[in-house]
Amino acid sequence: MHRIPRDHPRYESLMLRQKMVRGSERGLAVKEGLLAHGRGEAFDYLLGERTSSEAKAAARAAAALLLMAKRPVLSVNGNVASLVPGEMVRLATALPGSVIEVNLFHRTEARARAIAAELGSAARKLGVRQLLILSDRTDARLPGLSSDRAKCHRLGMFSADVVLVPLEDGDRAQALKRCGKKVVAIDLNPLSRTARAADVTIVDNVVRALPELIRQVGALRTASPRRLTEIAGSFDNRQNLGRALGRILRRLGRLSRERVPSDRSA
Amino acid sequence: MHRIPRDHPRYESLMLRQKMVRGSERGLAVKEGLLAHGRGEAFDYLLGERTSSEAKAAARAAAALLLMAKRPVLSVNGNVASLVPGEMVRLATALPGSVIEVNLFHRTEARARAIAAELGSAARKLGVRQLLILSDRTDARLPGLSSDRAKCHRLGMFSADVVLVPLEDGDRAQALKRCGKKVVAIDLNPLSRTARAADVTIVDNVVRALPELIRQVGALRTASPRRLTEIAGSFDNRQNLGRALGRILRRLGRLSRERVPSDRSA
């Protein structure tokens, strides 16, 4: 592991990269996960690497949906376990009746168990005792998905009414929607299939989005069911995605004016 | 290695990811290379994952420069060796007097040798016998670079007049320019330092850019020196980069109108 100087202009981003490399060395993340993280880095760069007002609005609607849910399920993959295991545990404890389910695109039972162990260890550090983590030994299938990617748990995804999918594949986000579930996604690409399939999409880096979501859940914990319904109902995901994309376009335009001359001949 | 369903909408991109993973498992690419590939993926997505007219124009100018060169050097790193070893060999055989030089950002002699072996094996498969591949045992240094990253070969970069750097680091591209060499870059980010430092930048995925470059070299093989000078001289890299960026901005704007409604309130 290389030491990164605190004053490096890309310190935060390089530290996250090291967390991902460590996660991959410990068998939590796969190499494809490193690639996906690199892809996210590029979108985070385009977003200016900070939480936008659109992301905050989405986190508020997400908090309302998750608090209204009867069976909220929080999906965790290798990248999430490498980057924010403690935050996932904290979010689960803030949501009554919630379950964490390990949910892998490149599924092996050994990796599912390693991720569950990582979450268990984060829970112990936080003094959390009651927490249901579903990992290996799946006992149900999500319709409309092929092979391993359909595997899930009867007490998890299969019976969930609201599912949080941070860093999810588009196919699976769409399959969850087709099953009639409310989907909350965290995705840095506002144009991705996951972002568009979800009911609420937080366009932000998961390391900033989860703390914000935990804050919003805390703020709405005592809100009435009617108030929660109002908040979730007044949120328009398509419009919010349009605003996030507008932010990227404006930033790219600005960078382009700074770095390459405008193209007058086209 | 995981099986990717043929009907997955991102099949091509996922297959490239697997090539990178295989390259890393075989000691050709490092984990930082996987992350860098992921960043490139995001830019490729923004470009529509196809070769633009700007990329073709740049490939034509690049072919002219390489054909005019006295000592063209083709730089190969771990990602290039993982993705397009055969294409690099084919390009080298199409360019009289050219040399392949293994050129690593995270340099170890073992990795340089592994990459040379990979290229040698690609050459044998193609029936190519005469091909100079420089890898370990460097005997020169590029001025203006620190430590390992300066290492190069007297018969390679050091004495080259035109250098092809696919997927190069910005520092090194700038150092090559300062030594008075013509630099041809392949880079998916039109705003990167490498893209802006090069004389000719092909903004395209290396897996599409190299076949296109090989085609253009073939098409110009019998052109007169005067014609080649004309072609190279009429190419304006800054303007071409501006167009590539304009393409990204227009595509993002179009995608945004198709996929999410415009934001009228912002």
Q: Do B261 and A253 touch (CB under 8 A)?
A: no
Contacts of A249 in chain B (CB under 8 A): 249, 252-253, 256
| Interface membership of B9 toward A (CB under 8 Å) | yes
Give the pLDDT band of residue A139 (cuts 50, 70, 90): confident
In B138-208 the beta strands, taken as DSSP E runs, fall at 140-141, 151-152, 162-166, 182-186, 200-202
Q: Do B252 and A253 touch (CB under 8 A)?
A: no
Mean pLDDT of the region B8-19: 82
| Interface membership of B43 toward A (CB under 8 Å) | yes
Contacts of B13 in chain A (CB under 8 A): none
Task: Enter the tokens of residue A1.
Answer: 């592991």
Residue B258 per-residue DSSP state: H
- Residue whose tokens read 């569950």: A116
The 3-state DSSP class for residue A198 equals coil
- pLDDT at residue B116, rounded to an integer: 95
d(CA A195, CA A57): 15
Give the pLDDT band of residue A254 (cuts 50, 70, 90): confident
| Minimum-distance CB partner of B249 among A17, A21, A252 | A252
A105 to chain B: closest CA residue: B2
Question: Which residue has better confidence, A6 or A88?
Answer: A88
| Mean pLDDT value across chain A | 90
Strands A162-166 and A182-186: parallel
Residues near B130 by beta carbon (within 8 Å), at least 6 away in sequence: none
B265 to chain A: closest CA residue: A243
pLDDT tens per residue across span A35-94: 999 999 999 988 989 999 999 999 999 999 999 999 999 999 999 999 999 999 999 999
With contact defined as beta carbons under 8 Å apart, do A91 and A69 qualify? no
pTM: 0.84
Which ipTM value was assigned to this complex?
A: 0.76
| Interface membership of A22 toward B (CB under 8 Å) | no
- Helical residues (DSSP H) of B95-169, grouped into ranges: 109-125
A22 to chain B: closest CA residue: B31
Contacts of B253 in chain A (CB under 8 A): 249
Q: Do A35 and B41 touch (CB under 8 A)?
A: yes
With contact defined as beta carbons under 8 Å apart, do A59 and A66 qualify? no
In 3D, which of B196, B183, B57, B40 has the Cα closest to residue A255? B196
Q: Do B196 and A245 touch (CB under 8 A)?
A: no
What residue type is B262 in one-letter code?
A: S
B64 to chain A nearest CA, in Å?
A: 23
| Interface membership of B144 toward A (CB under 8 Å) | no
User: Is B265's pLDDT higher than 60?
Assistant: no
Contacts of A17 in chain B (CB under 8 A): 32, 35
The 3-state DSSP class for residue B190 equals coil
| Interface membership of B48 toward A (CB under 8 Å) | no
Report the DSSP beta bridge partners of residue A228.
none
- Backbone angles phi and psi of A104, in degrees to 5: -115, 140
How many residues does this entry show for chain A?
266
A119 to chain B nearest CA, in Å?
A: 24
A165-184: string of b/e by CB count within 10 Å (b at 16+)? bbbbbbbbbbbbbeeebbbb
Mean pLDDT of the region A249-258: 83
Nearest-Å Rg of the Cα atoms of chain A is: 19
Q: Do A37 and B41 touch (CB under 8 A)?
A: no
Nearest-Å Rg of the Cα atoms of chain B is: 19
A108 to chain B: closest CA residue: B2
pLDDT tens per residue across span B141-194: 888 777 677 888 888 888 899 999 998 878 888 889 999 999 999 999 998 889
B95 to chain A nearest CA, in Å?
A: 31
Q: How far is CA B76 from the centre of its chain?
A: 8
